[in-house]
Amino acid sequence: MKFTRGYFTRTELVLWFGSMLLITAASILSGGSGLLSTAASLTGAASLILAAKGNPLAQVLMIAFSAMYGIISYSFAYYGEMITYLGMTLPMAVISLISWLRHPSGGRGAEVRVNRISLRETLFMASLTLFVTVLFFFILRRFNTANLIPSTISVATSFAAAYLTFRRTIYFPLAYAANDAVLIVLWTLASISDRSYLSVLMCFVVFLANDLYGFFSWRKMQRRQETRAMSKCSAQVS
């Protein structure tokens, strides 16, 4: 997908390059032993910048990130993270990619059409999230998952975020931001035991900043698209 000059705003470029700088610095401080962690973190940061633009390419990068992150999680016995990302986030990213490609804004493939969900669907999502969370708690406990409670909370926030991403609502970055906060706790604990995971910790620190930006970006995108749609309807009526 070709990017035109000026496609990324100054804020987005600062976030992107700042994220890469912090992730690289964390990798160096960790002794450079976590090459897969660094690659995953850089891929994830790029994915979030594109997601903030509503660009379907973000989901392609999320698929790659999920695969790498699943391997990293397995190495520290974070089985909840491994199962969540390989068994849920990755397949949901594939489904989201299809959904985003099928719903471009105004015929433009580089920006997805923002969607709104009803209160009824929100309650359905909450119920489904609760069911998945309880189910995973027992599964993770059975596998002696490290830091069981934070890992279980991560499942809940990841599932909600994946669902909202698929449904193209402006709230999916907030759900991912909540997940980032949980993962910062998880990987802080892991980094205390092995500093090679420091780059993964920094990954989710920059993810938190990028996801918060993504929410405000999608809110602006929603207003712009709805204003354009109203103008088009008015023009047709007149």
Q: Express each pLDDT in 51-90 by its tens digit.
A: 999 999 999 999 999 999 899 888 877 787 788 889 888 9
**Residue 4 pLDDT:** 63
Phi then psi for 77, rounded to 5 degrees? 65, 25
The mean pLDDT of the chain is 87
Tokens at 178, concatenated: 């909540």
Centroid of chain to Cα 114? 16
**Residue 83 pLDDT:** 84
- CA pair distance 79, 204, nearest whole angstrom: 18
Return the higher-pLDDT residue of 131 and 141.
Answer: 131
Look at residue 195 and tell me whether its pLDDT is greater than 80.
Answer: no
For the stretch 209-223, pLDDT in tens is 999 999 999 999 999
